[in-house]
Amino acid sequence: MRKIQWLLVLSLLSSVTFAQTNIFKYKKLPDVTIKDIKGLAFKSSDISNDGKPIIISFWATWCKPCIRELTTMADVYDEWVKETGVKLYAVSVDDARSANLVAPLVNGKGWDYTVLLDPNSDFKRAMNVGPIPHTFLLNGNGEVVWQHTSFAEGDELELIELVRKLNKGEEIK
Amino acid sequence: MTLKKGTLLVVGFLWSLCIIPGAIHAQDILKGSEVHGSTQLDAVYYLQDNKMGITDSTLDGKLMRMNGFTEVNYSLGNFTAGLRFEAYLPALTGYDVQNNGVGVPYFYANYKNDFIDITAGNFYEQFGNGMMLRTYQEWTLGYDNSIRGLRVKVMPYKGITLKGVYGVQRYYWEPYKDYNRGIVKGFDADFYLNDMFTSLSDAKVKLTLGGSFVSDYQQGKTKEIADNGKIYLLKMPENVSNYGGRFNLNIGGFNWFTEYAHKINDPNALNNYIYKDGNGLFTNFSYSKKGLGISLMSKWIDNMSYKSDRTIANNMVNINYLPSITKEHTYALASMYPYATQPDGEVGISGTVTIHFPKNSTLGGKTGLSIAANFSQVNGINKTALNDTTMVNQLGTLGYNTSFYSVGSEVYYQDANIEVTKKFGKNWKGIFTYLYQTYNKDIIEGHANDYGTIYSQIGIADISWNITKKNNLRFEFQGLWTKQDKGNWAAALVEYTVAPAWFLSVQDQWNYGNSDSGQQLHYYLLSAGYTNHTTRVALSWGRQREGIICVGGVCRYVPAANGVTLTVTSSF
């Protein structure tokens, strides 16, 4: 029995490495029903931006690095939108404890992002997100082309550089 | 832990689904199939530390410990399947030893279209706010109450979602057999009125109604319970139901959410086997516009613990979710005394105001200013004896009398805090926090009148300096002042990050006010890490102070430790 278990582990790990080299990117967003900021049902497959790049950032009101990331980007978001047409979806994974604090916090901070609520982490699970913040970049066709976990000041510069590349039609590796 | 043959077959099947299409995909035969997943490894090599009382025997001779998981999900069109492998070899200190083992506790297959959504296997589900049913997983807590069984969601008409669930909950690695724990059944309905009626689709008023019914079947019409050296034979309700309703009303910047739940008699280990019905109410009102956010919450909980095994007194097999309404803090000293819901009975309020003064305004100055203030208080509920010969909460009785929303005199927790965020010039940013917390240690941690209540003041300065565009230094200075418990603390942290890959941090928490001078310890920690896309590797060395970490409504005790920790997380 033990041997079978270890075989299973090894195969799983090999499948992981296999996947990593070949299927790192999402061709299509998973279809999960979450909520918008008014409490209405929102299908994750409806995330769109008229053929322009999209950023999806998973965050929570209690996550300090997430707040730092969204605050830093809020300062330059206007300019980003004007220059590149990019749209940022901030998906809060706050559960029942703090989901009701999301709208007051987002408005209170004056953020202009499109905010979605994922109170039981259904979308987070479907996107295989572990620790937050976790940021996805989608090209104009809605394909995930880049992901990053954690935040350090300056990460936002790499992100907008990638958005510019997408707009120029360059491929992201 | 050994896998049963049937389980192994299912796992083998699902796993082959994960591998084979991956291979086929390379040849592009199954267009649209995708394989994704995530993994985490937490490994600690524990060091002995005489000052902290950590010896080979407290570590049970097991110096090297590891928690790890890998989850793989495969999708093709409307079909998804996945599994999670977990290993605790053995579990890190502070995790229940019943975690120890290796196996696949989670696997599922799902089919979904616009009308129906069917899951067979394990699933995570939440009805409304969770007061009747919520299953979820929290890796950092070692918490998983997933249901294994069947879930069907139907969308018969636009704006209407109906859900049915049927199954048994996970209890560590213990397989379900012969009714060794309860069978959970649940039904839930959501009505999004603005989607249902086209005439309302553009209305400013958005209304959602919902309702749930949950029932747990646990075999056994009678049960022997020992109390004060006597054995009582109690009649048990084999079916315990929990039901209620909710609404969400949104008008522009106003939002009002309310949920009520009622649970029938449910004698269990946590309520001392009383037969009183339980009920709970949660309500939240918020208003926000650009630059201003206000939230007011209130919660009433009376005898609402609800588990699929009434004999379990720990955190596992919760069917419902009773989060605390107090603010969740993450700074080290602000989270030293965290609150967790007391399911036996509590009543509380919480209010939060967030204000942002934009750039180039009078108060905002050149760079803007943000202020967030929060106050919360939780008391016990008012309980009186049923009659002269029965004590409050006496085993085998109806427990006590109480009236809805009656506030008890005992304060369980209080927290008043204010946070100011300010940029200084282009490269400096500060977050300054002050907190005043009241923590009823006996109630919250379940001690029998040993510690009393702890009153603490906490001050925190978190300062960030962008040295260059991609190099950042961050400093944290924290102080906690109290005359009770372990006395005063001071903490400092320096963190250096180079975007997007590297971080290095040094921190120390110093219990300089401990009345026992031998326990005025430094809890130093040195950490470094590297991030590449979604893979993060971090290594740390140092001391971990004893404490409680809470995520949502669930807390876990973390014992003091000294060691070298390796954490690897990745997703693809």
**What local confidence, expressed as pLDDT, does residue A19 receive?**
45
B226's tokens: 């020992």
Q: Which of B161, B331, B571 sits opposite A129 (nearest CB)?
A: B571
Percent of chain B scored above 70 by pLDDT?
Answer: 93
**Alpha-helical runs (H) found in B363-518:** 441-445
- C-beta separation of B393 from B381 below 8 A: no
pLDDT(B476) > 90: yes
- For B193, counting Cβ atoms within 10 Å of its Cβ (0-12 exposed, 13-18 middle, 19+ buried), the class is middle
- C-beta separation of B359 from B368 below 8 A: yes
Confidence label for B289 from pLDDT (cuts 50, 70 and 90): very high
Paired with B382 in beta bridges are none
Confidence label for A23 from pLDDT (cuts 50, 70 and 90): very low
Q: Which helix (DSSP H) or strand (DSSP E) does residue B480 occupy?
A: strand B471-482
Return the minimum-mean-pLDDT range out of A10-19, A118-127, B293-302. Answer: A10-19
Residues of chain A in contact with residue B250, where contact means CB-CB under 8 angstroms, are: 38-40
Confidence label for B553 from pLDDT (cuts 50, 70 and 90): low
B488's tokens: 């005063």
> Does residue B117 lie in a domain region?
yes
Percent of chain A scored above 70 by pLDDT?
Answer: 86
CA distance linking residue B290 with residue A112, whole number of Å: 9
Sequence-distant (6+) residues with CB within 8 A of B149 are: B123, B165, B166, B167, B168, B184
Paired with B476 in beta bridges are B462, B493
Residue to test with chain B: of A8, A44, A94, A111, most B Cβ within 10 A: A8
**Alpha-helical runs (H) found in B389-459:** 441-445
pLDDT(B20) > 50: no
pLDDT(B431) > 90: yes
Residues of chain A in contact with residue B19, where contact means CB-CB under 8 angstroms, are: 11, 15, 18
Q: Which of A107, A120, A130 sits opposite B40 (nearest CB)?
A: A130
pLDDT(A22) > 50: no
Q: Give the count of domains, chain B.
A: 1
Q: Which of A24, A95, A105 sits opposite B572 (nearest CB)?
A: A24
pLDDT(B22) > 50: no
**What local confidence, expressed as pLDDT, does residue B30 receive?**
59
pLDDT(B1) > 80: no
More confidently predicted of B315 and B233: B233
Instruction: Report pLDDT digits (tens) over B503-517.
Output: 999 999 999 999 999
- C-beta separation of B46 from B93 below 8 A: yes
CA distance linking residue B371 with residue A75, whole number of Å: 17
B521's tokens: 């310890």
B535's tokens: 């893979």
Confidence label for A26 from pLDDT (cuts 50, 70 and 90): confident
State how far residue A50 is from chain B, nearest Cα, in angstroms. 22
Are the Cβ atoms of B130 and A96 closer than 8 angstroms? yes
Residues of chain B in contact with residue A13, where contact means CB-CB under 8 angstroms, are: 70
- For B363, counting Cβ atoms within 10 Å of its Cβ (0-12 exposed, 13-18 middle, 19+ buried), the class is exposed
**What local confidence, expressed as pLDDT, does residue B341 receive?**
92
Separation of first and last alpha carbons in chain B: 29
Residues of chain B in contact with residue A62, where contact means CB-CB under 8 angstroms, are: 328-330
Confidence label for A8 from pLDDT (cuts 50, 70 and 90): low
**What local confidence, expressed as pLDDT, does residue A3 receive?**
54
Residues of chain B in contact with residue A40, where contact means CB-CB under 8 angstroms, are: 192, 194-195, 206, 208, 250
What is the interface pTM, i.e. ipTM, of the complex?
A: 0.90
**What local confidence, expressed as pLDDT, does residue B363 receive?**
87
**What local confidence, expressed as pLDDT, does residue A9 receive?**
53
CA distance linking residue B399 with residue B384, whole number of Å: 9
pLDDT(A118) > 90: yes
Instruction: Give the residue on B whose Cα is nearest the Cα of A3.
Output: B2
pLDDT(A123) > 50: yes
Tell me the count of A-B CB pairs closer than 8 A. 242
Confidence label for B429 from pLDDT (cuts 50, 70 and 90): very high
Confidence label for A6 from pLDDT (cuts 50, 70 and 90): low
Paired with B369 in beta bridges are B357, B422
When the pLDDT of each residue in chain B is averaged and rounded to a whole number, the result is 91
Instruction: Give the residue on A whose Cα is nearest the Cα of B326.
Output: A97
State mean pLDDT over B38-46. Answer: 95
pLDDT(B425) > 50: yes
State mean pLDDT over A40-64. Answer: 94
CA distance linking residue B551 with residue B546, whole number of Å: 17
State mean pLDDT over A146-161. Answer: 93
Instruction: Report pLDDT digits (tens) over B176-196.
Output: 999 999 999 999 999 999 999
More confidently predicted of B8 and B174: B174
CA distance linking residue B239 with residue A72, whole number of Å: 52
**What local confidence, expressed as pLDDT, does residue B25 receive?**
44
Residues of chain B in contact with residue A41, where contact means CB-CB under 8 angstroms, are: 159, 161, 190, 192, 195
State how far residue A13 is from chain B, nearest Cα, in angstroms. 8
Instruction: Report pLDDT digits (tens) over A62-77.
Output: 999 999 999 999 989 9
Are the Cβ atoms of B39 and A16 closer than 8 angstroms? yes
Are the Cβ atoms of B294 and A155 closer than 8 angstroms? no
CA distance linking residue B302 with residue B316, whole number of Å: 20
Return the minimum-mean-pLDDT range out of A87-96, B16-25, B557-566. Answer: B16-25
- C-beta separation of A23 from A145 below 8 A: no
Are the Cβ atoms of A149 and B569 closer than 8 angstroms? yes
State mean pLDDT over A48-58. Answer: 95
pLDDT(B18) > 70: no
Positive or negative: CA dihedral B194, A47, B72, B317 = negative
3.30.420.40, 3.40.50.10860, 3.40.30.10, 3.30.70.260: which CATH number matches A25-167?
3.40.30.10
Confidence label for A139 from pLDDT (cuts 50, 70 and 90): very high
> Does residue B482 lie in a domain region?
no
Are the Cβ atoms of B18 and A157 closer than 8 angstroms? no
Confidence label for B21 from pLDDT (cuts 50, 70 and 90): very low
More confidently predicted of B360 and B133: B133
State mean pLDDT over A142-159. Answer: 92
Percent of chain B scored above 90 by pLDDT?
Answer: 81
> Does residue B79 lie in a domain region?
no
Query: DSSP readout, B513-538?
Result: T-SSGGG--EEEEEEEEEEETTEEEE
Q: How far is CA B407 from CA B297, B300, B382, in A?
A: 16, 9, 6
Q: Which of B34, B356, B464 sits opposite A110 (nearest CB)?
A: B356
More confidently predicted of B403 and B29: B403
Query: DSSP readout, chain A?
Result: -HHHHHHHHHHHHHHHHHHHHH--SBSS----EEEETTS-EEEGGG---TTS-EEEEEE-TT-HHHHHHHHHHHHHHHHHHHHH--EEEEEE---TTTGGGHHHHHHHHT--SEEEE-TT-HHHHHTT--SS-EEEEE-TTS-EEEEEES--TTHHHHHHHHHHHHHTT----
What pTM value is reported for the model? 0.90
Instruction: Report pLDDT digits (tens) over B361-402.
Output: 888 888 889 999 999 999 999 999 999 999 999 999 999 999
Instruction: Report pLDDT digits (tens) over A103-117.
Output: 999 998 889 999 999
**What local confidence, expressed as pLDDT, does residue A5 receive?**
53
Instruction: Give the residue on B whose Cα is nearest the Cα of A106.
Output: B293
> Does residue B294 lie in a domain region?
no
What phi and psi, each to the nearest 5 degrees, are found at residue A157? -70, -40
Confidence label for B279 from pLDDT (cuts 50, 70 and 90): very high
Could you list the residue range(s) of the whole structural domain that residue B137 is in? Answer: 113-269+299-322
What phi and psi, each to the nearest 5 degrees, are found at residue B394? -70, 135
State how far residue B33 is from chain A, nearest Cα, in angstroms. 9
State how far residue B96 is from chain A, nearest Cα, in angstroms. 22
pLDDT(B137) > 50: yes
CA distance linking residue B227 with residue B225, whole number of Å: 6
pLDDT(B554) > 90: no
Q: Percent helix, strand, coil in chain B (nearest 5)? A: 10, 55, 35
Residue to test with chain B: of A77, A122, A136, A149, most B Cβ within 10 A: A149
Are the Cβ atoms of A104 and B571 closer than 8 angstroms? no
Are the Cβ atoms of B25 and A23 closer than 8 angstroms? yes
Are the Cβ atoms of B466 and A24 closer than 8 angstroms? no
Instruction: Report pLDDT digits (tens) over B52-96.
Output: 889 888 888 899 999 999 999 999 989 999 999 999 999 999 899
Secondary structure E strands in B132-277: 137-138, 143-144, 147-157, 160-169, 183-192, 205-217, 222-227, 230-235, 239-251, 254-263
What phi and psi, each to the nearest 5 degrees, are found at residue A22? -110, -35
Q: Quick check: helix, strand or coil at residue B202?
A: coil
- For B366, counting Cβ atoms within 10 Å of its Cβ (0-12 exposed, 13-18 middle, 19+ buried), the class is exposed
Instruction: Give the residue on B whose Cα is nearest the Cα of A154.
Output: B470
